[in-house]
Amino acid sequence: MGTPDSRRFLPENGETRAENSRPRVLQPAAGSWPAEAGVHYFRPVREDEICRMIAKVSGLVNLSDVAMSLASNLICRVAFGRRYDEDEFEKMSGWLDKVSGLLGRLRKNCKELDVFYEQLIDEHLDPARQKPAGRQDIIDLMIQLKDQNASSLDLSWDHIKALLMNLFVAGTDTVAAAVVWAMTGLMLNPAVMKKAQTEIRQFIGEKGQVDDDDIRNLPYLKAVVLETLRLYPPAPLLFRTQILDEDCVLDGYKIKPGTSVIINGWAIGRDPETWQDPEEFQPERFMTSNGGVVDVSAKTGEFEMIPFGGGRRGCPGMGMGLISAELALANLLYSFDWALPAAAPGSNVIDTDALPGLTTHKKNPLLLVATTPT
């Protein structure tokens, strides 16, 4: 596998490594990546983690913690092949807070993550390691691509660890934030919550759990998630670099090659020229005349909302992120009725204040009371 120095995620000077200023796409060679190694490949993991989450919900619930625990264990099982206990989860949550927060904390945090990813790769290279139920995780697949030289990019250990960083941070933070903001929007709009719960409970009946196959038959639920992503995008700002060999003219402004551009996705999703009543939580805007739901790719393709970016550099995890948020929300709404906790007057009002960071998390934890519907 090489020496530790050859796999260093963060160089000694703390600078990020860039072999080429142009972005390059990792594209597996034909036949080298299992066809099923996509959203559906990890369905058993997703449904098992949702079931574990529901089993832990009772009475007064800190939904912010529940959502983060779900998203963290989900992405860790998909990418790393294992779950984490409470102590490990608290440490990992601390890493997420630092990565998503102030840049001054970044260097020490990246070195800690480098050691973490180093250990994960070593575990996967151990010949004695037993894969859970014979199922490959993403580290297995990346090592396979590297060993077989089966991608459009000459994969290094740095590349693999950088991809793991993307999966861990982007996959955990954004899914958790989307679930919390969706529940926030629903609590602020009881009629919308009632409509979503009615749709889910009428379709699922006494089955006991919403699974992947059910989601396609729940258009209003899907519209609720899309409206959440429009009004409360987990990643409100997008970073891009002008990579053309000549100036790019946009609205009369010349943007030179190499210029870094920050795109305000939050403002795009609330643009009154595109959206009617943009500050209102109205999932109906995503419903079609025949009772279906608008394809999110149509909205992102027109750049009316960009929760997953757009174009060639759109988020490759869009499918996984959407089904994870939809499945989590559907089961929370199916399994429980939700209310604000009894507290001192004025202290139980739900706010929409957000924390600063790369991902927009709710500033104050979402505390709700869950009861089993009768």
List, as residue ranges, the binding site for heme: 315
Q: Angle of helix 157-188 relative to helix 138-148, nearest 10 degrees?
A: 150
248: helix, strand or coil = strand
What are the start-end ranges of the H helices in the chain?
43-56, 63-79, 86-100, 106-125, 138-148, 157-188, 190-204, 212-215, 219-231, 265-268, 296-301, 318-335
In angstroms, the CA 323 to CA 78 distance is 14
Backbone phi and psi for residue 203, each to the nearest 5 degrees, phi listed first:
-75, -40
In angstroms, the CA 51 to CA 91 distance is 24
Residue positions forming the annotated binding site? 315
In angstroms, the CA 113 to CA 234 distance is 23
Backbone phi and psi for residue 68, each to the nearest 5 degrees, phi listed first:
-70, -40
In angstroms, the CA 176 to CA 212 distance is 18
Structure tokens at 311: 């174009």
Q: Which residue do the tokens 């060993």 mark?
A: 147
Residues 6 or more apart whose Cβ sits within 8 Å of residue 233: 265, 266, 269, 305, 306, 307, 360
Structure tokens at 10: 């963060």
